[in-house]
Amino acid sequence: MRVVVTGGGTGGHIYPALAFVRYLKEIQPDTQVLYIGSKRGLEGKIVPQANIPFEAIEIQGFKRSLSLENLKTVKLFLQSIRKAKRLLRDFQPDVVIGTGGYVSGSVVYAAAKMNIPTLVHEQNSVPGVTNKFLSRYANVVATSFHGVEKYFPKAKVVYTGNPRAQEVAEIEQSDILSNYGLKLHTPTAVVFGGSQGALKINQAMLEALPLFKEKDYQVLYASGVRYFEKYEKEFIKAQKEMENVRVFPYINEMPEVLASATLLVGRSGATSLAEMTALGLPAILIPSPYVTNDHQTKNAQTLVEVGAAELVADVDLTGELLVKKMDEILLNRKHLSEMSAASLKEGVPDASVRLLHLVEEITRGK
């Protein structure tokens, strides 16, 4: 099979795509894959590091206000479609899979116009503009949340879950927490605000640090590089005074760490929630207020409604409130167990299997 994957701009579009590619190569080792991304997106760094052939096209998003830049956007979109068609003609894929971001708009649209089977994967509970547009042309739309089908042509929608979930579900508990100076077999909260960190979460954690002293649980915090540098003295001081708190700029082995954790505290991006539910982790979710259509709040609410998570609005977050919520979950075994079960029930450990079945269905008649 020859597969083109496209999507980018943020890790939420890239990591599910890579997870599916890895599964596909494992099941069908002779599969040929080409990833088409944008010149400016994170995919330009992440995909080549995964040893996947990569081609870039230039594209940008529309400004929300009237701007001459939007004329450039239209010009780039038309040019990107022409380049996408050239790449597709050269590679001759059996299927094109788009995971979101402006770049997938050009590539999936071009493929549809060339009568190449196409699949769009939507990770969030509220779809982005690109996937809404592409749903009119794609053969099928795969979703990661129930309820999102109302935004797409009903006959095209199939619920698959997020491929990242299957990849993480296969990770077993280990002694990895000892690598971070923490004890094994002790309830552990992992706190992070995304790869760059989050100001409000850092401010709350600075207030919370003294309150963790003598708690019957431990805390591993990834602050983000820029915030670690800014608050390094405070973080070092807290770690000297407390054995149950460890702070790092970034956690490279996050899936492995989460597999050995007890509670997740952080933003509610689609990839994080896929990982969380695959592992049956309860969570305290603090949606980012800076994302399109407030989709992180809607992502979080789907898990709050089933009892798998607690939601704290970014504007309401304080150190005292954060510790109170952590105590309520980590110090109450019954509540913790119930939330864990609810989280695991929402997980989709066979998401890549489902996605591959869809790919095989739409390419069968090619």
- 256-260 long-range contacts (CB < 8 A, ≥24 apart) are 256/171, 256/174, 256/176, 257/176, 257/177, 257/180, 257/190, 257/220, 258/168, 258/190, 259/168, 259/171, 259/172, 259/173, 259/174, 259/176, 260/173, 260/174, 260/175, 260/176, 260/177, 260/184, 260/188
Q: Is 124 known as a binding-site position?
A: yes
Q: Is 11 known as a binding-site position?
A: yes
Q: How many residues does the chain have?
A: 366
Residue 119 has phi, psi (to 5 degrees) of -135, 135
Q: Is 195 known as a binding-site position?
A: yes
Tell me how far apart the alpha carbons of residues 27 and 33 are, in angstroms, rounded to a whole number.
Answer: 13
Q: Is 28 known as a binding-site position?
A: no
Render 179-224 in DSSP notation, one character per residue.
Answer: GGT--SSS-EEEEE--TT--HHHHHHHHHHGGGGTT-SSEEEEE--
78: buried, middle or exposed (CB in 10 Å: 19+, 13-18, 0-12)?
A: exposed
Of 164, 191, 183, nearest to 283 (Cα)? 191
Q: Is 173 known as a binding-site position?
A: no
Do 266 and 287 meet the contact criterion of CB atoms below 8 Å apart?
no
Annotated binding-site positions: 10-12, 124, 195, 251, 296
Annotated binding-site positions for UDP-N-acetyl-alpha-D-glucosamine: 10-12, 124, 195, 251, 296
